[in-house]
Amino acid sequence: LPARYGAGEASIWVQYIEFVAKHKPAVNLGQGFPDYPPPEHVTKALSEIATGENFLLNQYTRGYGHPRLVQNLSKVYSPLINRQLDPMNEILVTNGAYEALFSAILGHVDTGDEVIVIEPFFDCYDFMIRSAGGTPRFIPLKPKATEGVQTSNSWVLDEKELTSLFNSKTKMLILNTPHNPLGKVFNRQELELIANLCKKHNVLCLSDEVYEWMVYEPNKHIRIATLPDMWERTITIGSAGKTFSVTGWKIGWAYGPVNLMKNLQVVHQNCVYTCCTPVQEAVARSFEFELSRINTPECYFNSITRELISKRDYLVKVLRENGFNPTVPDGGYFIIADWTKLKDKIDLSSERDKYQDYRFTKKFAKESGVLVIPPSAFYSEPHKSLGENFARFCFIKKDDNLALAEKLLKEWN
Ligand code: PMP
Ligand code: GLN
């Protein structure tokens, strides 16, 4: 394996999906996907396309994005970013947000470039930066000492530390808001700090906003591309999997100014060329349907939050009642919870993993039947200890399964 790929260890997803197949936990609150049906109009669109009259929808489509999809993406985002997005030149449709990240990083990061990554971070960023020949520079969000309820927004960056990471080699900063796994929704002041540093040092901002619709009141999702003079240095990423609760569809996108998007197109056209046509058509129709009811409470971009907030509150309560200390998320669909008060109840010596959150989540799944994710997977090697006291719980799960998790947690306690 080329050295730039590191040790080639199985990713957290490969490892924990194997674990699920082997141990068959009663409730899977691990990987982030809904265990209940997506909106009906979304799945109906796909089923109609495959057998519909336009059989050409089963063939290749335009490489940079199916025309009907890029047109609808432009209609959705233009009002949100206060500018007319050019569907043909400023948007690239990709194989999930993963490929958007990959094309953006491979397309812009050169050998010797540095990329600033905020910890905890979605694990693939690290690999992608290294495979482009770049060097990730990590900075952790740290919880402020607060009295009472810990919320995701009490996890903050140290301004001095962030400032000190910028230098002449810095090419890019990767932002993820709403954040996986913390659920942090970066506020305007925090985004301004990042934006001002990017502008001062001529750095690109890659903004991973796949959870953009899942933001809990009174928080607001602010797109960093809308801050003054940030459009020209920002590439923003979204995901149909997250937007429409169809994570298996693997359609994502990136949008930004033409000159930045060119580099993504080069990677995409030679590595992927084009994404699945019928699925792109179905995502396009799904957006059309939502656009027709965009400002109504029924619009999925609004209803998803109502659906999730009660699940969030329920799981927070269950965790508190069962010895965990959850950080209440302001966005997204994950909760990280400190499990260390349960230390004396669980013997981790049978597990051989290096980090104690891996040992805890594995032993806990075997004993309780509830599978969750170890957050140290989202930290660089020197900072893994910052994640080890926590476990990540996914709450986009049907109420029956959340209730089953409660029952299993109680029994285990
Ligand atoms: N970024 C973040 C922060 C994620 O949590 C995920 C997982 N959905 C992705 C990117 C990848 O998204 P996709 O499934 O669309 O490839
Ligand atoms: N984004 C999802 C999560 O964080 C799924 C990640 C994956 O399957 N690679 O759980």
Cis peptide before 120 (omega within 30 of 0): yes
Q: What angle do CA 298, 302, 304 make, to 5 degrees?
A: 95
Could you give the CA distance from residue 237 to residue 2 in angstroms, rounded to a whole number? 28
Question: Among the residues of 132-203, which ranges form H helices?
Answer: 159-165, 188-200
Ligand 2 centroid to residue 13 C-alpha, Å = 7
Architecture of the CATH domain 41-291? 3-Layer(aba) Sandwich (3.40)
pTM exceeds 0.90, yes or no: yes
Could you give the CA distance from residue 44 to residue 49 in angstroms, rounded to a whole number? 9
Task: Tell me how crowded residue 116 is: count the other CB atoms within 10 A of its CB.
Answer: 23
Per-residue model confidence (pLDDT) at position 145: 77
Ligand nearest to C-alpha 176: 1
| Binding site membership of 15 for ligand 2 (Cβ less than 6 Å) | no
C-alpha distances (whole Å) from 212 to each of 162, 166, 232, 332 are 24, 27, 20, 8
Ligand nearest to C-alpha 13: 2
| Binding site membership of 154 for ligand 2 (Cβ less than 6 Å) | no
| Binding site membership of 207 for ligand 1 (Cβ less than 6 Å) | no
- Topology of the domain comprising 3-38+299-412: Aspartate Aminotransferase, domain 1 (3.90.1150)
Could you give the CA distance from residue 233 to residue 206 in angstroms, rounded to a whole number? 9
Shortest-distance atom of ligand 2 to CA 210:
1
Strand ranges (DSSP E) for 352-389? 370-371
Could you give the CA distance from residue 213 to residue 211 in angstroms, rounded to a whole number? 6
Ligand nearest to C-alpha 28: 2
Could you tell me the two tokens for 208?
């991973």
| CA-proximal residue: ligand 2, atom 7 (nearest) | 13
> Looking at beta carbons, which pairs linking 43-52 to residues 24 or more positions away fall under 8 Å?
43/246, 45/281, 45/282, 45/285, 45/286, 45/289, 46/278, 46/279, 46/282, 49/278, 49/281, 49/282, 49/285, 50/278
Low-confidence ranges of the chain (pLDDT < 70): none
Could you tell me the two tokens for 88?
């043909």
Per-residue model confidence (pLDDT) at position 149: 80
Could you tell me the two tokens for 248?
């298996």
Ligand 2 centroid to residue 317 C-alpha, Å = 24
| Binding site membership of 28 for ligand 2 (Cβ less than 6 Å) | no
Could you tell me the two tokens for 182?
């913390």
Per-residue model confidence (pLDDT) at position 273: 97
Give, rounded to a whole angstrom, the gap between the first and last alpha carbons of the chain: 44
| Binding site membership of 251 for ligand 1 (Cβ less than 6 Å) | no
Specify the amino acid at residue 155: W
Q: Where are the domains of the chain?
A: 3-38+299-412, 41-291
Question: Among the residues of 52-187, which ranges form H helices?
Answer: 67-81, 96-108, 124-131, 159-165
Per-residue model confidence (pLDDT) at position 7: 86
Ligand nearest to C-alpha 250: 1
Question: Among the residues of 174-236, which ranges form H helices?
Answer: 188-200
Kindly report, residue by residue over 285-303, the tens digit of the pLDDT: 999 999 999 999 999 999 9
Question: Ligand 2 pocket check: which of 123, 247, 333, 396 to mutate, most ligand atoms within 8 Å of Cβ?
Answer: 247
Give the H or E element holding residue 43.
Answer: helix 40-51
Q: Dihedral (C-alpha) 143, 147, 153, 156: value to the nearest 10 degrees?
A: -30
Ligand 1 centroid to residue 264 C-alpha, Å = 17
Specify the amino acid at residue 219: N
C-alpha distances (whole Å) from 194 to each of 55, 163, 179, 237 are 47, 9, 15, 17
Q: Is 131:152 a contact under the CB 8 Å cutoff?
A: no
